Structure 1
Amino acid sequence: MTVSPPHFAGAFKVTSDAHGCPTANLSQDQALAGGNIQFFRKASTDQQLRQVATPPSDRGLLIGIALQGNHRRQVFREHHAEYHDFEENAIYIRDFNDSYRADLIGPFEFLLLEIAPQSLQRIAEEADVAGVSSLNHQIATKDPVLGNLSRALIPAFERPAEASALFLDQMATAIGTYIVQQYGNRPAGGVPKSRRLSRAHENLAKAILLDDLDGDVSIAKVAEACNLSRGYFIRAFRDTTGQTPYQWLVSARIRRACDLLRAPAITSLAEVAVQCGFNDQSHFTRVFASVVGTTPGAWRRDAML
């Protein structure tokens, strides 16, 4: 069924954000920065038709991941218009160099990834696919892998105070690596090989991570200390320890918490939380329970038996 778009011009003044979204229609509008990628979470429960438009610019690339389905949009080309249905985990990739105009139909929730041209080059080099200068354009393409990677960021949007720089940097590297390997216009090449850190680099990386238990150290800082790129360092750290830097740091914090919970001189769970780099006691309890399977208080009681 063909639907004629409404006439927006002159009807009323619409205030839009940097991605062309009418701000009055957004029920969620959040932003996070991670390494080479800017993350945005945008949602609307509005059933009314609204339009997104951005003029050409040199900002780079925009990738959208639908976190829910039942969304439709009419994308206007130079001489025609196309309808696209976005199911859950459907994505689009578009270049800011191209003028964009689309009517959005129905509620939506998208995670947007904005990648500057120089950032795309760095991501490609760190992912061992140097030579990527652009991504293949996509629209309404199903990608559950990118959808699941993106959902790992939702807790960071919901509790930004607990979103450590280490976690965001690591997620940006993982997502960026997947994107350039899956959608990059690149020369033919092999799959990155397994790599391991030297014993000296492994010990140095762990020492730097332990010096900042709250996770506010960046991957770039640790990698630079080891004279490695971020992407290489993350893969080598994982191949060496069996965990990503963030996973290893969380495990180290939990091990330290268990030692403190056994100490009779420390009675307050809030004090344990602070000494282990957690934002507060509730943050400590959530992470501890997710890793150990029980609350810190219950674990302490069992350990004292």
Structure 2
Amino acid sequence: MLRKSISGSKYSAGQKTDSFGCPFDKLYKDQSLQGADISFFRKGTRENRIEQVVTPASDRGFAIGISTLAGHTRRIFHEHHSTTHAFEENSLYIRNLAEPYRADLIGAFDMLLLEISPASLRKIAEEADFSGVAMLDAETASIDPVLANLVRALIPALERPEEASKLFVDQLATAIGTHLVQRYGGKIQPPLSRSRKLSRAHEALAKNLLLENLDGDISILDVSRACNLSRGYFIRAFRETTGVTPYQWLLNERIMRARELLKGSEAPLSEVAIACGFADQSHFTRVFTNVVGTTPGHWRRNA
């Protein structure tokens, strides 16, 4: 299962700010998660003002931030002037970390942050058939509901990393990366749409690998490599072949197996949960209820 970084653990003992320049003592929310070629963070503060957030120029790549709340304002200092930007709910910024950054943050915020290295951006672009994309267009306080909804889907994984499916996080990271290069990667001619399906051998291999890892603790890269395909191609081909994404297919299989165990045995819910790849009984109950519409116990009594 994926693990959340403990606040401050990835930095030196004497360091007082995180990698985005925000003081640790001002953050009440500090979560992180690693996906396919993208690092995800959630940063939140209740402070009304944080002055002089500074990050020096670096070769780390690009930072993308999505505001989950309205009411946050940034005064960004440029070489000879400053600009002020009001962030609404789901508004975003894209920043090239090769450029130094200095800003005053005004108002409480809850930000979902992404960091993509230059090498990862090129890899994402190639897998999305947008070879040649090496930069993302700068944005400040603009609205992108598609990106916001994709990134928001990772909030449960950030909050409960012990329950997070690596397959789900990687799959979502691939979708997020593809959207970023398509929308913000410059005026690159989009590829021609064409049908992509897995061969019967690749479909069987992929499904067997997924079933061998019911808890989802296998990466999209592992499965796509076994099929000798890129991640982006594999996800699209799997969806065109089966009608669902790899994660959704595996989730359906887990629920189907759970139903069989609930109906055909007297095993406790905790044992059914582990047998079907869930972290524990509470995790199983949440997912089962969300998919089926009723709790496992209630479903068993009426089966």
Distance in 2 between residues matched to 1:291 and 1:138, nearest whole Å: 37
Distance in 1 between residues matched to 2:116 and 2:30, nearest whole Å: 18
What SS is found at the alignment partner of 2:196?
coil
Q: For 1:191-202, list aligned pairs within 5 A.
A: 191-202=192-203
Distance in 2 between residues matched to 1:175 and 1:69, nearest whole Å: 22
Where does residue 300 of structure 1 map in the other structure? 300
Where does residue 235 of structure 2 map in the other structure? 234
Partner AA of 1:261 in structure 2: L
> Contact between 2:182 and 2:190, CA under 8 Å: does it hold in 1?
no
Where does residue 252 of structure 1 map in the other structure? 253
Where does residue 287 of structure 2 map in the other structure? 287
> Contact between 1:22 and 1:50, CA under 8 Å: does it hold in 2?
no
1:47 Cα deviation after fit: 1.1
Where does residue 214 of structure 2 map in the other structure? 213
Identical residues among aligned pairs (%): 60
> Contact between 2:289 and 2:295, CA under 8 Å: does it hold in 1?
yes
Deviations 1:42-87 (A, max 9, x none): 0101113432111111010000111111000000010000000000
Where does residue 85 of structure 1 map in the other structure? 86
1:117 Cα deviation after fit: 0.5
4+ long deviations beyond 2 Å: 48-51, 189-194
Q: For 1:83-232, list aligned pairs within 5 A.
A: 83-232=84-233
Distance in 2 between residues matched to 1:192 and 1:63, nearest whole Å: 28
Partner AA of 1:197 in structure 2: L
The alignment status of 1:271 with 2:271, answered yes or no, reads yes
Deviations 1:230-283 (A, max 9, x none): 00000111111111111111000000001111123x331111001000000010
1:14 Cα deviation after fit: 8.7
Partner AA of 1:39 in structure 2: F
Where does residue 75 of structure 1 map in the other structure? 76
Distance in 2 between residues matched to 1:79 and 1:138, nearest whole Å: 20
Q: Cα–Cα, structure 1 residues 36 and 14, in superposed 2: closer, same or farther, change >3 Å?
A: closer
Distance in 2 between residues matched to 1:189 and 1:222, nearest whole Å: 26
Distance in 2 between residues matched to 1:95 and 1:192, nearest whole Å: 30
* Structure possessing the higher radius of gyration over alpha carbons: 1
Distance in 1 between residues matched to 2:68 and 2:195, nearest whole Å: 32
